[in-house]
Chains A and B, each alone.
Chain A
Amino acid sequence: MRRTSILLLSILCVFLGASRHYYQSAVQSTQPVNGDWAVVQFPADPDGLNPITSVNGYGRTVEYGVNYSLVYETLLQYDIQNNWRFGKPLLAEAYPEISPDHLSYTFKIRAGVKWHDGKSFTADDVVFSAKATVCPGVDDASARNFFTDMLNAEVLPGSKVRFTFSKPYFLNDVQLGTLYIVPKHIFDADGLLDNLTLKDLIGAKGQADPNVKKFAEQFNKHPNNRQPIGTGPFKFEKWDTGKEIRLVRNSDYWAKKPYLDRVIFRTIQDQTAALTALKAGEVDLVPILTPVQYTQQTSGPQFDNQLAKAKYSNLTYFYIGWNEEKPLFKDKRVRQALTMLVPRQQIIDTLRFGLARIGVTHFTPDSPDFDPNLKALPYDPKRAGQLLDEAGWKDTNGDGIRDKDGVPFRFEFLAASSNAFADQLLPVLKEEFRKAGIDMTEKRVEFTLQVNMLKDHNFDAFSGAWSSPFNTDPYQIWYSGSAKDRGSNFISYNNPEVDKILERARMEFDPMKRKPLYWRLQEILHDEQPYTFLFYPQNTAAYSKRFQNISWLPVTPGYDLTSWFVPKALQKYKDSPRP
């Protein structure tokens, strides 16, 4: 028994060893060439590959990559060279013509674009996609959410599409520019929606028409929800559930073709297994490493020989929210003091291994609206103590806990039981607050229960994170009205000036004029500290060195596979790998 296992072991070692030094003599080449595959690790399968009905981020990555163009494409995309300004034409010929009242948007549809099955892409596909998005019975809660003010979408002569809205809104160009476009001839082959306009669909006619119901049922479970047919630079090849999703280069792509022959998204759930698979050459990119993996497990000559690692920012911030409905946190001096009691730099250095930037405000440093003049409040327990004294919180009965009017400064910190970061954060906070005479206890609940408690404002303090695209509207988080009806203003923040700024900003169509409004917003938030902005985390990745022309971008997923290439001498895959 023992002998055979050792034999087996050594055979396997030889067998694996053979393939391990294929690019010892790395040829540095800057001339992009076609060929090779990229194997990207995914921690889970997507929930589907129809952008309208799928919601999870892995699906979005396969569908759209980093800039709305991978298997599917949208009308407009980011202009990365131009400071990430949104509005570079993609499936539209140009940025839309917008009526002076900002209620109608007319796009000219690009000619000569073909779906992956060879059929031409037309204006009908665009209108159909808008119709499918708002169609009653289609299971796309999060997609339709963006078009609740859309009145109609219609094809005009000359390959044009006009969208009309009931209200002006500064992000309507972004919502339309990123409308999920799917092929009409696949998803509505029988033309069930042909006789209905978008206006009909959202009205009484849409509720009553049996064809609408039939279409919605078909659409929700359409086989092509798992076999996308798009217009993008990569074509879908196959999806083995729980194993891999395979894309192949679209050699008929209408714009600049990608270099890689294939892209494979391989499902490896476990973080340790993912990094091990990378080191063993089974995958080429692990897009998100844990801080420990980045700082301690990705170095040494063996690693550096074949692999490289990278840091990249994303538009996310972590924060602590103080519920302003609670008398404890009503006074801004108390909130300022609490922020000054949180040793944020120490938390970044020890808990995140330095992989984050200290939090200042609602916008992240990569955002064009970020106000660089604001400086994070320092860690200053002494000043915090003074502020608490000023606010009337003094330890009058000598029990070590501050009190005011007979009420001790005592609160519960809410966190999801699955929140591993809170496991580390809460003990630090508890200790710092205890030293300042504040008694904090933990309350851990299941994630979905936590969401309900937040929406019901049924908590004292909690820790969360917000992630948003470049073009974002802070309205839902800070507007006083968003606290009602279970919105995202969990902490019931209420400041009339902020409300006015938010209302004005969403009707301001010039980004340069919006900026001063958002700077004023950030000034107020900085002064009032409704959140303790903890930090802006940085993501870390490790990848095979054979790839060239890699850049790391601040939007999800951070990497752009359409620009990657491998010099001829280093190419690893031609056909399927041999046993």
Chain B
Amino acid sequence: MSGYFIKRLLLMIPTLIGISLISFFIIQLAPGDPATLKMGNATSGMQNQAMVEQIIKETRAIYGLDQPLYIQYWRWVKRIATLDFGESLVDHRPIIDKLKERVPVSVRLSFIALVFAYLIAIPMGIYSATHQYSVGDKISTVVLFALYSLPNFWVATMAIVFLGGGDFWSVFPVAGLSSFGAEQWSAFDQFKDQVWHLILPITCLTYYSMATLSRYMRSSMLEVIRQDFIRTARAKGLSEHIVIYRHALRNSLIPIVTLMADLLPALIGGSVVVETIFSIPGMGQLSWESVLNRDYPLIMAIFTLSAMLTLFGILLSDFLHTLVDPRISYDNSAS
């Protein structure tokens, strides 16, 4: 068993190299380059165009973009091997500093949203499955499909317009994660303030994934409770509660556990839409801006980080499979 996971861990190294190689070359294919962007569209000045091109060339040299691509890639590999992400081309700040600012914000947001999504989705899915075609099931189906089809930028904007203290109700703040000047308040006030700021963005992040998850849960539960072993359990005279929660639940969780592979990268990935609308300085924003700015080292850092987390996520979900389903084993000798 442990041998298997060590093998998997080692396999991640060539996979990561492959991913980084592809992404490194793909981002260079996008038109535009950071040096030209830095020059902007300045049109006054005595300069002739040849001089402008010369300055752009020099700027590319500052960024190390004057070297052939394979050398740039090799330099990047050497740096990343020492876990050095390099510096951003936009402001020359170490990328690690930028990530340190942003990752906690996104992790907190996504973590809370995911916990809520699972906490609501799993019981709801179980209820719908065990009460199939009941009024409750039908209502939840309709509501979930409605939620599933509402785009979150629209929901977020409506929430701001109606609940943000504009022309309607003043219930929630509309921007950021803390009130203006909150850093001087007592710890308890700061906590209250943060919760108050988190409610709208968390809601917008939660409802969609909750809707999807609970549909998964419902269908997988339905599949499980129709199987023979459940009928046997019932025939043994076990109470419905034990049948569902001890025997059916664990089996029906397998597809949900598979979905967890995406969780890790999603945790730090952030959401561009929600972060932009609620002005939350998280990873979604940072990734978006890094692409617009053609900030190659930052893009690569984010790619590498999410590639690593995706690979770990897949490994983790494989491991979790063995926990929820004893039939799954990665031990060679057992098979």
Are A13 and B171 CB-contacts (below 8 A) given A449-B32, A579-B189? yes
Within 8 A of A (CB), among B151-210: 157, 160-161, 164-167, 169-186, 189, 192-193, 196
Interface string of B35-67 (1 = CB under 8 A from A): 111111111111111111101101100110000
B30 within 8 A of A: yes
Any A CB within 8 A of the CB of B101: yes
Report if A480 contacts B (CB, 8 A): no
In B276-301, the 8 Å CB interface with A consists of: 276-281, 285, 294
> Does A227 belong to the interface (CB within 8 Å)?
no
- Minimum CB distance partner of A221 in chain B: B92
- Contact check, B32 vs A472: say whether CB atoms are below 8 A apart: no
Docked Cα-Cα span, A141 to B260, in Å, equals 46
Tell me the minimal C-beta distance from A191 to chain B in angstroms: 22
Whether A277 is near chain B, meaning CB under 8 Å from some CB there, is yes
Q: Is the CB of B166 within 8 A of A280?
A: yes
- Which residues of A sit under 8 angstroms from B91, Cβ to Cβ? 47-48, 53-54, 225-226
Identify which of B40, B59, B167, B186 contacts A139 (C-beta below 8 A). Answer: B59
B31 at the interface (CB under 8 A from A): yes
Contact present for B180 and A468 (CB under 8 Å): no
- B residues in contact with A45, CB < 8 Å: 281
A242-B279 contact given A280-B164, A452-B31, A487-B49, CB 8 Å threshold: yes
Please give me the residue from chain B that is nearest to A225 by CB atom: B91
User: Is the beta-carbon distance between B93 and A221 smaller than 8 angstroms?
Assistant: yes
Is A282 a contact of B173 with CB atoms below 8 Å? yes
Q: Which residue of A lies closest to B170 (CB)?
A: A16
Chain B contacts of A241 at CB under 8 A? 101, 281
Tell me whether A167 is interfacial, beta carbon within 8 Å. yes
Please, which residues of chain A bring their CB within 8 A of the CB of B173?
277, 280, 282
* Chain B residues whose CB sits within 8 angstroms of the CB of A466 once the complex forms: 43
Does B87 sit at the interface, judged by CB under 8 A? yes
**CB-based contact B32/A279 at 8 Å:** no
Q: Which residues of B contact A448 (CB under 8 A)?
A: 30-32, 36-37, 294
- Give the docked Cα–Cα distance between A226 and B98 (Å): 13
What is the chain A residue whose CB lies nearest that of B46?
Answer: A169
CA distance in complex: A12, B47 (Å) = 59
A17→B170 CA distance, assembly (Å): 8
Cβ B167 vs Cβ A279 within 8 A: yes
Q: Does B12 reach chain A (CB closer than 8 Å)?
A: no
* B47 close to A484 (CB less than 8 A): no
Residue from the list A142, A268, A276, A577 in contact with B42, Cβ < 8 A: A142
Docked complex Cα distance between A272 and B200 (Å): 15
Q: Given A47-B90, A282-B173 in contact, is the A55-B40 Cβ separation under 8 Å?
A: yes
Nearest-neighbour CB distance to chain A for B128, whole angstroms, equals 18
Q: Give, as a whole number of angstroms, the nearest-CB distance from A50 to chain B.
A: 9
How far, in angstroms, from A446 to B32 measured CA to CA in the complex? 10
In the assembled complex, the Cα of A279 lies from the Cα of B164 at a distance in Å of 9
Asked if residues B38 and A142 are in contact (CB atoms below 8 Å), the reply is yes
Of chain A, the residue at the smallest CB distance from B32 is A448
How far does the alpha carbon of A468 sit from the alpha carbon of B185 in the complex, in Å? Answer: 45
Instruction: Name the interface residues of A462-499: CB closer than 8 Å to any CB of B.
Output: 466, 468-469, 471-473, 476-477, 481-482, 484-488
Interface size on A, residues (CB 8 A): 83
Residues B285 and A279 in contact, CB atoms below 8 Å apart: no
Dominant secondary structure of chain B at its interface with chain A? loop
Q: Chain A's nearest CB lies how many Å from the CB of B29?
A: 11
Given A17-B170, A277-B174: A243 in contact with B281 (beta carbons within 8 A): yes
CA distance A446 to B50 in the complex (A): 26
In the bound assembly, the distance between CA atoms of A528 and B166 in angstroms comes to 49
Hey, which chain B residues are within 8 Å of A473, CB to CB?
Answer: 43-45
The range of chain B's interface size is 35 or more
Given A242-B285, A282-B174, A579-B185: A167 and B167 interface contact (C-beta under 8 Å): no
Tell me the minimal C-beta distance from B162 to chain A in angstroms.
Answer: 10
Q: How far is the CA of A244 from the CA of B179 in the complex (A)?
A: 11
A30 to B294, CA, bound (A): 50
- Kindly report which residue of chain A lies nearest to residue B184, judged by CB atoms: A576
Contact of A221 among B30, B87, B172 (CB under 8 A): B87
User: Is there contact, CB below 8 Å, between B92 and A139?
Assistant: yes
Report chain B residues within 8 Å CB of A144. 55
Check A304 for interface membership: any CB of B closer than 8 A.
Answer: no
CB pair A482 B49 closer than 8 Å: yes
Interface residues of B in 235-288 (CB under 8 A from A): 276-281, 285
B42 touches A145 (CB 8 A): yes
| Beta-carbon contact of B165 and A16 below 8 Å | yes
- A151 interfacial contact with B, CB 8 Å: no
Give the complex CA separation of A221 and B96 in angstroms: 14
Provide the A236-276 mask, 1 if CB < 8 A to any CB of B, else 0. 00000111100000000000000000001011111011111
Contact between chains at B43 and A488 (CB < 8 Å): yes
A149 on interface, CB distance cutoff 8 Å: yes
- Cα separation A575 to B166 with both chains bound (whole Å): 25
Measured CB to CB, the closest approach of chain B to A177, in angstroms, equals: 13
Complex interface: chain A residues within 8 A of B35 (CB): 141
A199 interfacial by beta-carbon distance below 8 Å: no
For B178, list chain A residues within 8 Å (CB).
Answer: 243
Q: Can you show 26 pairs from A to B with CB atoms below 8 A apart?
A: A17-B170, A47-B90, A141-B38, A141-B56, A144-B55, A146-B47, A171-B44, A225-B92, A241-B101, A242-B101, A267-B281, A272-B160, A275-B166, A276-B164, A276-B174, A277-B174, A282-B165, A300-B167, A302-B167, A448-B31, A452-B31, A476-B44, A488-B41, A577-B179, A579-B179, A579-B193
Taking Cβ atoms with an 8 Å cutoff, the residues of A that contact B are 9, 12-13, 16-17, 20, 39, 45, 47-48, 53-55, 136-137, 139, 141-142, 144-146, 148-149, 167, 169, 171-172, 175, 216, 220-221, 225-226, 241-244, 264, 266-270, 272-277, 279-282, 297, 300, 302, 446-449, 451-452, 466, 468-469, 471-473, 476-477, 481-482, 484-488, 506, 575-579
